[in-house]
Amino acid sequence: QKEVEQNSGPLSVPEGAIASLNCTYSDRGSQSFFWYRQYSGKSPELIMSIYSNGDKEDGRFTAQLNKASQYVSLLIRDSQPSDSATYLCAVRTGANNLFFGTGTRLTVIP
Amino acid sequence: NAGVTQTPKFQVLKTGQSMTLQCAQDMNHNSMYWYRQDPGMGLRLIYYSASEGTTDKGEVPNGYNVSRLNKREFSLRLESAAPSQTSVYFCASSMNSVSEQFFGPGTRLTVL
């Protein structure tokens, strides 16, 4: 079983809609959770981090964490074509142990 | 601030050749990391350096060596390149071993 699982997509949403990206993880002791955005041919860029159960909002982005269900999600409100990218979920299980999912490719259709 | 820089951006090697990938950060971070990214596999940790003077193996260390030259620089060496090492290599750094990691622009390596 992989440490971090994501639906590879592609996920297509119309411009202005809410995009919902999901991630599950296997280690119940996981402590920190991150969402990275990666444009094609570019490096991963950190967009959100979340450490405790509940929601964390930053602009159009909301991260949601449910440790009991071992589930973390990212909502993007008012999706824009510039949000089209691959979104990587990363989960820290201990010091220096950061595991990445394979990413979900999001396409926002104008 | 340049953040995390990597050289070269692209490299083509023949099987058996050696090379060193360079990484430097100007954020005064203590921890540095080398990852490889392959289609369908996600990012996988090769080696990391939790602090200056220490290095440890990650998930896929075979065929690689690293050197933490000083606090700013962390290099990755391929002693005898193999086609299986064709990949995109990313260097990352973080303030400490549990904080957010920031990535360099990557090196696209092809081994023929």
- Mean pLDDT of the B34-41 span: 92
Task: Determine contact: A44 vs chain B, CB below 8 A.
Answer: yes
| Tens digit of each residue's pLDDT (9 = 90 or more) over A21-38 | 999 999 998 989 999 999
Tell me which chain B residues have a C-beta less than 8 angstroms from the C-beta of A95: 50, 97-98
B16 and B72 Cβ atoms separated by less than 8 Å: no
For A49-99, write each residue's pLDDT tens digit.
Answer: 999 999 999 999 999 999 999 999 999 999 999 999 999 999 998 777 899
Q: Do A100 and B48 touch (CB under 8 A)?
A: no
Minimal CA separation from B106 to chain A, in Å: 6
Min distance B48 CA to chain A CA atoms (Å): 8
For chain A, percent of residues with pLDDT exceeding 70: 99
Predicted pLDDT of residue A1? 65
pLDDT tops 90 at residue A7? no
* HEC letters along A58-75: ECCEEEEEECCCCEEEEE
Q: How many residues does chain A have?
A: 110
| Residues on chain B touching A4 (C-beta within 8 angstroms) | 42
User: Is there a contact between A49 and B100 if contact means CB atoms under 8 Å apart?
Assistant: yes
Residue listed under structure tokens 């979920």: A89
